[in-house]
Amino acid sequence: MIRVASYNMRKAIGTDRRRRPERTLDVLNELDADVIALQEADRRFGSRASALPFRLIDEHSDYKPVPLDTRAGSIGWHGNALLVRKKVEVLDRILVHLPSLEPRGAVMADVRIDGIDLRVVGMHLDLSGLWRRRQATAILDHLDARPGDPPRVMMGDLNEWSVRGGCLREFAAHHHFAECGRSFHARRPIVQLDRIMVSEDLRVVASGAHHSAAARKASDHLPIWADLAPAA
């Protein structure tokens, strides 16, 4: 069994408007996932440094960031980052440029977890429905162009309020969705903006949104998770 998770951590600023990276890390530790896709992982202004200090991640969790070779001090690419357990082997990673009016990107990594290879994509899509669909197509094209064909996991904040339409149609062509439930707003979730999508060679054993007391305060989004196994 492999657990994956996705979390729009809002730059470690909670619903109390306080920046508390320790609280964000508490939520990540609660998830106990093998791979976590983060959105809004870097500060927005200045040097765009990681909102989670590297030392804090190293000393107070079992995670390590997937190295993305971006700017010094940053954990992500346009706010997107991937964390994996320290024992997980990172085989490859790339930055995915997305079409948009404002800078947007996605991150992709091939990882090996207990002998199982996965191709993982983390994303934070546009507020515009037209650009979301274009970005979904760009991500799928990048996946198809990569060598090899390991099982795929795509996750992140899709900003899609539709239940089945919009960019969900593009992703659903060859992937299925984990039923994680509503994740926004964290205090009173009313919509599924955050999604986990997997290729047909994976099955979702269990999934959900993480509703701990810490998660309800640490961001305006709840983290979502899914337990995966190879399809029969």
The DSSP secondary structure of 75-125, one letter per residue, reads -SBTTBEEEEETT-EEEEEEEEE---SS--EEEEEEEEETTEEEEEEEEE-
Give the model's pLDDT for residue 47: 64
Distance, CA of 204 to CA of 230 (rounded, Å): 9
- Provide the b/e sequence for 99-123 (b: ≥16 CB within 10 Å): ebeeebbbbbbbbebeeeebbbbbb
User: Under 8 Å CB-to-CB from 48, ≥6 apart: which residues?
Assistant: 42, 71, 73, 74
Range 2-230: architecture per CATH: 4-Layer Sandwich (3.60)
Separation between Cα atoms, residue 149 and residue 99, nearest integer Å: 24
Residues in the chain: 232
Residue 145: how many other CB atoms lie within 10 Å: 7
Q: Can you give the residue ranges of every domain in the chain?
A: 2-230
Q: Which residue has the tokens 């093998």?
A: 34
Query: To which residue do tokens 């091939």 refer?
Result: 110
Which residues are within 8 A (CB) of 197 and not within 5 positions of it... i.e. 6 or more apart? 153, 154, 155, 171, 172, 175, 176, 177, 178
CA neighbor of 123 nearest in space, from 6, 45, 227, 3: 6
Please tell me the predicted confidence (pLDDT) of residue 41: 96
For residue range 9-40, list pLDDT tens digits in order.
999 999 999 999 999 999 999 999 999 999 99
Please determine, for residue 72, whether its predicted confidence score (pLDDT) is greater than 90.
no
Percent of the chain with pLDDT over 70: 98
pLDDT, average across residues 150-175: 94
The mean pLDDT value for 91-117 works out to 94
Q: Give this prediction's pTM.
A: 0.96
